[in-house]
Structure 1
């Protein structure tokens, strides 16, 4: 082997050891300017640059920037612009708060658990407990990405590894009052207002496009008076340029007439004020999250004139399940504003002219003007497209002023809700609550069968997050489902199985005899159970030879019956299989009517979800979810069988 000369690049090849760079890895996205700047390239095609130079505690910047790069990098957990912006806000607030202290920590090694806890208390003075817990979780994830870990104080490293940090969020979510959907009257008023506005937008743009088409094809048919005005319309449509605003002299200053400029742009292109009614109508027709509608791709296929195939991005499903193609009914031209497919094709049509200049890959594009302020890159992009942009390209959370839109249409809440002066309460419009309303209406329309009603969520998510809090659904479900669920819940609460939660597991190690006595078994049985020697499918059996379900003999009933048996013992190691069992029960729910499912599996589901899982910490449950097997040996669910 030839010796390597100074300055010579090491050769690579089979059997050769690759050169290893010195020091710790720092992502290429981190660049040094006045301070570290971390570039973000999201899976949602959005970009950002996070500049640490604007934050205090400069001696922490380099290490935090490297950790931040790992969090938002290809293998990190923050892969959309919205998620990254949210976590960046939490980290920025922590550094600003540290910088405001009389003696801020100089480096990461000086950051203590006391600092983190005091910052948490400081935030809770102005924000809700749920938001505070979320902020602290985002900060902990960044600190966990610090390398080497020795840069952090020992007590901080131990704090980051402690379980149960999210317990406060779980508790707050559990006790948070739920907001019901809109009533039928409110929903009808919202949709009528949205349709009226969308019809006006459609008529406005189509009328201008027809005039421009007439000028291009048969200009002689226009009068001399109209020809000059229509020529200007055709020029704007062809070039995308909107004349700069005229200026009015008011009190010695020249004020640009921006309203008139927006009106001129609105003759041919969608503008910011058109987004609210279009999105309200889209959510009301499709039942989809507004974020999902904002991500709709421009590419689509119309199938036999009856349906449209649309590509959408569904968030919170993970990388492998985030994108899907859905088929929406189109309907006739007269029903265009009453079907989700008709709505999509209309949005595609209305934004097409602007999309030709913005080059947006999403279906959305508007004229938003060319601002004189803001980041240079942002201003340059708008100027290059003559003010045409994808309104949700930078971030999904664009301000839509929904309350202002609702107030402009005189929308009011139900008569039962009044202000202190006795006036009807103005309707508070949110797209999330509107989606919930659609879920409620769909569930009622299909007779309460959740698998049929849940178009955008699994049935349990639909019920827990959209249907459970709606008083009309609860009253209606009581009539439709009779007393089946109530009977199942009563039977579930008769459960007397033993549960080795975190405290009990500690007691077993400290004093097995006393713990066994408290659980009504022997120390020998308890030790065998904790060792896994007495495991059935999803629990341990403390007395297999004396089953209460088999006249005191050997147990021969379904393993699903284990959870109802007083001989059952459930420990933390059983949780992954319990989650797998819940997935199987979900599949059963998809295949049966809800009454049949409750009769067969309602007690088992209630025992697991109401009586067993709440005994364990959120950290234990989260770990178990990730460890859950893909499937259980369902052939064993009905019990052991003699070989044939």
Structure 2
């Protein structure tokens, strides 16, 4: 099985290596192949993740007494055992959701008990990533700023020397002149002139006059005069994270920002920054941001400095590979040692791009910190420094960055306490309270929307203790309130009727004023939305397809109020 990513590079997967029967291998390969298309999986990281989850799943199947030979032999009970086992492990949520999303596409698994089992959602685990404390984040930014600034000053100093050599300001043959000549060679080729037959390993083989002018053969006194090292590029990545909230994938693919043609009367450039966000899906990969360099503390100043620090490397890359136009460029010490990664921009000679995920922890260790700074740093920026979303939707920003962060929670204690009572009451009124069951209980009493487990002890007694709309019991609530009652039980027999009710209530929006609809039907609609979420789209769609004429008549009577009289 071959997967071509968006850059046209290929990754191969051998389904014959999976420990299951050949028919099941073929079925899984077909499901996998359907995703290996540009509008589904654009990067190898995605297909590799799914491949590893399939390996975990098929390993479980192979250990069964009677392993299934194909997907049509997968049973609900078998899948339930796997679900219970895998969700108890670290990373189990990812494994479960990946495998079920693939299997649901097979037509043989779209009906019967196995379909309902596959449609059940797993609880998403809470992220363990927390923001840095203010002091920790300050130390992080300071370490990155010191490293990158030192590199920038070094490159600017040597660029000035090169400019003076090009202007013939040095006496030919002097040490300064030879240094200028060496810098010119380095700026044009990315390397230094070496003795014939010598391998370009580090400083080995550099001609004597250049070694003398540079003061040695180490990278720090030779090619680093004009180019960033890997660790210095990582420091730049940390600063881009701290300033703009970019994650590693954005930093990796960040193209060179262009300054506006007219910088304005003050001469301060405004950069147009294109941002690529692959996880947003086809058609929504790109957005642009404009930032202005209007002083040392401005976001645009960092872009100006990044362009300056990478200008010599980018010039060589542009000459050798004109289609490559990335911002973060650094030079490797030894060519050919970097491991291949088909999702990242390939090296151009000794020059590499972006920041690899493995480099963050190495950089942190080098500056006396612990752990990669990128995930916690992005959490800090998005949860605390930036209250509005960066490259995410508002829902993702709130759910995955703000609401789960302990620093945010600690700072919001007063607000949370003030709104807790109101939020609890709102949730009680609008969220489904009825209990979901797989089958009816013979002892329950059927109502129009659910079954009642204790009709004689309703949370909604009628005025004066008389009988209400409940079927033979002491309940003063409308049948619509069954969805918000702790005594109510909902089983699959109710699903078609409730799906039709959801559709009918939604249709009332078009004939009622918004305020009237919200007052009369908003809570019911919210509970039905909650039920739909709990059951999943597959079960809900199937329920709508099984609505009977009796269900429609019953719902019509409920909507007109005739059923309660």
Match of 2:115 in 1: 161
C-alpha distance in 1, partners of 2:66/2:479? 56
Q: Is 1:300 aligned to residue 258 of structure 2?
A: yes
What CA distance in whole angstroms lies between the structure 2 residues aligned with 1:68 and 1:59?
A: 15
Deviation track 1:232-258 (CA, whole Å, cap 9, x = no partner) reads 33212211236612699xxxxxxxxxx
The reply on whether 1:184 has 2:146 as its aligned counterpart is no
Alignment of 1:197-216 (within 5 A): 197-216=147-166
Whether the 8 Å CA contact 1:495–1:564 is kept in 2: the answer is no
1:118-137 mapped onto 2 (5 Å cutoff): 127-128=89-90, 131-137=91-97
Q: Give the TM-score taking structure 1 as reference length.
A: 0.60
Aligned CA distance change for structure 1 residues 289 and 569 (closer, same or farther; 3 Å): closer
Kept after mapping to 2: 8 A contact 1:40/1:73: yes
For the structure 1 residues 355 and 530, does the alpha-carbon distance in structure 2 shift closer, same or farther, using more than 3 Å as the test? Answer: same
Q: Corresponding residue for 1:265?
A: 223
Contact in 2 for aligned 1:205/1:269 (Cα 8 Å): yes
- Tell whether the 8 Å contact from 1:245 to 1:261 is kept in structure 2 after alignment: no
- TM-superposed deviation, 1:430: 2.9
RMSD: 4.8
Match among 185, 196, 210 for residue 235 of structure 1: 185
> For the structure 1 residues 474 and 91, does the alpha-carbon distance in structure 2 shift closer, same or farther, using more than 3 Å as the test?
closer
Q: Following TM superposition, by how much is the alpha carbon of 1:39 offset from its aligned partner in structure 2, in angstroms?
A: 3.5
Change (3 A) 1:40 1:497: closer
The structural deviation recorded for 1:115 is 7.6
The TM-score with structure 2 as length reference comes to 0.67
Q: Distance in 1 between matches of 2:46 and 2:285?
A: 15
- Write the distance in 1 (CA, Å) between the matches of 2:67 and 2:118: 27
- 1:416-427 correspondence runs (5 A): 427=370
Quick check: 1:46–1:80 contact (8 Å CA) kept in 2? no
1:533, distance to aligned residue in structure 2 (A): 7.2
Structure 2 counterpart of 1:409: 367
Instruction: Give 1:374 deviation, angstroms.
Output: 5.9
Identify the residue that residue 72 of structure 1 maps to in structure 2: 36
Matched, 1:438 2:397: no
Corresponding residue for 2:561?
none
What is the aligned counterpart of 1:486 among 408, 412, 420? 420
Change in 2 beyond 3 A, CA 1:220/1:435? same
Tell me which residue corresponds to 1:465: 400
1:477 aligns with 2:433: no
Q: Residue 521 of structure 1: which of 459, 469, 478 is its match?
A: 469
**How far apart, in 2, do the equivalents of 1:318 and 1:442 lie?**
27
- Distance in 2, matches of 1:559 and 1:435, equals 41
Say whether 1:361 aligns with 2:325.
Answer: yes
The one of 277, 283, 287 equivalent to 2:235 is: 277
Gaps of 5+ in 1: 1-36, 249-258, 412-426, 444-449, 542-554, 576-612, 628-644
Cα contact 1:516–1:522 (8 A) shared by 2:
no
- Pair 118,389 (structure 1): closer, same or farther in 2 beyond 3 Å: farther
Contact 1:284–1:434 under 8 Å retained in 2: yes
Task: Say whether 1:85 aligns with 2:48.
Answer: yes
1:50 is matched with 12
Q: Taking structure 1 as reference, are residues 79 and 247 closer, same or farther at Cα in structure 2, changes over 3 Å only?
A: closer
Aligned to 2:131, the other structure's residue is in SS state coil
> Residue 335 of structure 2 corresponds to which residue in structure 1?
370
1:590 is matched with which residue?
A: none
Q: CA deviation digits over 1:147-183, x for unaligned, max 9? A: xx5xxxx67985763356563343x33xx6x544222
Structure 1 residues 260, 52: closer, same or farther in 2, change over 3 A? farther
| 1:40 is the counterpart of 2:9 | no
Which residues of structure 2 form unaligned runs of 5+? Answer: 195-199, 205-216, 459-467, 472-477, 481-493, 545-565
Query: 1 or 2 for the larger relative contact order (CA 8 Å, sep ≥6)?
Result: 2
Deviation per CA, 1:189-216, whole angstroms, max 9, x where unpaired?
Answer: 1111111111011012222333333333
Are the structure 2 counterparts of residues 348 and 513 from structure 1 closer, same or farther at C-alpha, using a change threshold of 3 Å? Answer: same
Decide whether aligned partners of structure 1 residues 570 and 49 sit closer, same or farther in structure 2, where only a CA change above 3 A counts.
closer
SS in 2 for 1:311: strand
Which whole-Å CA distance do the structure 1 matches of 2:277 and 2:101 have between them? Answer: 24
CA distance in 1, matches of 2:432, 2:341: 65
Cα deviation, 1:532-556, whole Å, max 9, x if unaligned, reads 5798755999xxxxxxxxxxxxx99
Structure-1 separation of matches of 2:283 and 2:83: 34
Q: Secondary structure at the match of 1:245?
A: coil
- 1:89 Cα deviation (Å)? 2.8
Aligned residue pairs, count: 471
Q: Distance in 2 between matches of 1:456 and 1:377?
A: 24
Alignment of 1:585-604 (within 5 A): none
TM-superposed CA distance for 1:363, in Å, is 1.8
Q: What is the DSSP-based 3-state SS (H/G/I as helix, E as strand, rest coil) of the residue aligned with 1:182?
A: coil
Inter-partner Cα distance in structure 2 for 1:531 and 1:247: 73
Q: Distance in 1 between matches of 2:383 and 2:377?
A: 10
Tell me which residue corresponds to 1:351: 310
Give 2:300's aligned residue.
Answer: 341
Distance 2:62 2:118 in 1: 29
How far the C-alpha of 1:40 sits from its partner, in A, is: 1.0
